[in-house]
Amino acid sequence: MTAIASETLRHDTPAVALAEFARYFAVSALAFAIDASLYALALHARLPYEAAAAAGFVAGVTTAYGLSVRWVFRDRNVANRRAEFLAFIAIGIVGLGVTEAMLWLQIQVIGIGPVVAKLGAAAAVFLFNFGARKLLLFTRRPLGVIVSSPAA
């Protein structure tokens, strides 16, 4: 009988995933606080909400990446750290696009204030970012190593 080496599966348990989700939530809360603070400051400085959101994003994603690789996730898929950071940012850019679209919809179409709109967008983008980053960057992949049990 053949099986994938158990070592490649050790970190993919529900308990580990839940712990990572909780840590990612804490990191995201901090990153969001930084993002939202910069967003509010930029709005106060009379920057358009699109520019304010982008400025907040840069500060937030940098914080989120640094803490994610040091504290949140146990497994890493990408050996090249520069490529990993770029992929992390790319996922964040997709999330930024979702944020911008949600802000536009809530502010321009529905008429919600920009700060309240940011809260709604942040919740949806949090779930998207965690799922995409966990799946694409921080889930251990089997290396294709097959371990054969000795025939009995």
Residue with the bigger pLDDT between 119 and 67: it is: 67
Q: Share the mean pLDDT of the chain.
A: 84
pLDDT digits (tens, 9 = 90+) for 18-37: 999 999 999 999 998 999 99
| pLDDT score at 150 | 45
pLDDT digits (tens, 9 = 90+) for 33-53: 999 999 999 999 999 999 998
Which whole number is the average pLDDT over 3-20? 65
Q: Is the pTM of this model over 0.85?
A: no
| pLDDT score at 7 | 43
| pLDDT score at 144 | 45
Where in the chain are the domains? Answer: 28-141
Q: What is the DSSP letter of 139?
A: S
User: 128 pLDDT exceeds 70?
Assistant: yes
